[in-house]
Structure 1
């Protein structure tokens, strides 16, 4: 009574024919493989059969990756740099630090001279040796204050140029640690000269 009618409604004999289905463009032209066949094709051994050849290929790929990254760090090509050095924010931080004279970049030479002087004066003039160590500690404190001032000014510029979300965790350490490196040893290599601050 309430069931669907088994006979077709409004069907004119002779008009309903099974039309051939046209070939759809982009069809794969082959039957879909069964699940067992697909799973068998996707199976890969967890351990390669030739482990020596696989490890050799992996070492070669890692060496090539390191060489590519090192060359990118030398030339400033961000496409192949490590992930921590990519992006316009990190590039701006590097350029800002490299364009500024910092007390931190002279810390290692000053510390080396102070230690040599301290050892040389320890026997002959211990008072002067003590003053050398005190001067070194004063220099360290001044370099830390200079690094804090560097980050304070840089943070304002980053917010103004890229917005609040650009200053993520680790950006301050990235800039300050670079400021404490000797300029020729900085990686990626500086792309600006002293005084050539980014806009």
Structure 2
């Protein structure tokens, strides 16, 4: 197969060799247009993402502010796809109606992290112990929240897809209540 021609014949006469005429009969497969120059490809990549997404029309500051306010109010048309639908609205209301340990991480965890840098070994020991206890309590509360939201949503919305609903609820619970978008519609302790 990989031999040179011999005195008796050529390499094409050997078994397993590809005849030269078969290569000429195959059509060339091109893309039908010339390749772009490098500077053209780089210039196309430099276009800002918002400009690419809206095809040249950039939203004004007032339009962006109006869209953000519509998201805060919870208008369905202004929400991203992950927040739309009655199941996600129920999960948001379920999270907003209960007290969550995950929301306490910043107010309680940050001072404990600062106490870890105190020179006293006793204070550092108790700060680390409390910080680990807080983290484990948040983990268990988040697991229970995800389970409870999925169970309540399955009972209220039979046949609806619940994929990712538990994680959606946990991530909302981790946010500070005032910073949640859309803003909470129910008070704490209210029945959902």
Relative to the length of structure 2, the TM-score reads: 0.66
- Cα deviation for residue 57 of structure 1 reads 7.8
Helix, strand or coil at the partner of 1:166: coil
Comparing 170-179 and 63-72, the one that deviates more: 63-72
CA distances 1:60-112 after superposition (whole Å, capped 9, x unpaired): 23766643431122212122111111110110000000000010011111111
Aligned equivalents of 1:164, 1:135: Cα separation in 2: 42
Q: Matched residues in 2 for 1:89 and 1:166: separation?
A: 9
- Provide closer, same or farther for how the CA distance between residues 82 and 144 of structure 1 changes in structure 2, counting only shifts above 3 A: same
**Displacement of 1:161 after TM fit?**
0.7
**Contact kept in structure 2, 1:95 and 1:197, CA below 8 Å:** no
Kindly indicate whether the alpha-carbon contact (under 8 Å) linking 2:92 and 2:169 is maintained by their aligned counterparts in 1.
Answer: yes
- State the match for 1:104 in structure 2: 102
Runs (5+) with no aligned partner, structure 2: 1-46
Which of the two has higher C-alpha Rg? 1
The separation in 1 between residues aligned to 2:146 and 2:161, in whole angstroms, is 14
The number of equivalent residue pairs is 141
Gaps spanning 5+ residues in structure 1: where? Answer: 1-50
Q: Which residue of 2 aligns with 1:141?
A: 136
Give me the whole-angstrom Cα distance separating, in 1, the residues matched to 2:60 and 2:105: 34
Q: Provide the rounded CA distance (Å) in 2 between the counterparts of 1:79 and 1:112.
A: 37
Are the counterparts in 1 of residues 147 and 166 from structure 2 also a CA contact under 8 Å? no
Separation in 1, partners of 2:68, 2:88: 17
Pick the aligned partner of 2:89 from 77, 88, 91: 91
Q: Say whether 1:188 aligns with 2:182.
A: yes
CA distance in 1, matches of 2:180, 2:106: 13
Give the alignment of 1:38-187 within 5 angstroms.
58-61=56-59, 66-119=64-117, 121=118, 123=119, 125-168=120-163, 170-187=164-181
Rounded Cα–Cα distance in structure 2 between residues aligned with 1:152 and 1:158:
10
State the shift of 1:187 in Å.
Answer: 1.3
The answer to whether the 8 Å contact 1:99/1:197 transfers is yes
Q: Quick one: distance in 1 between partners of 2:162 and 2:106?
A: 29
Q: Is the 8 A contact 1:69 1:80 kept in 2?
A: yes
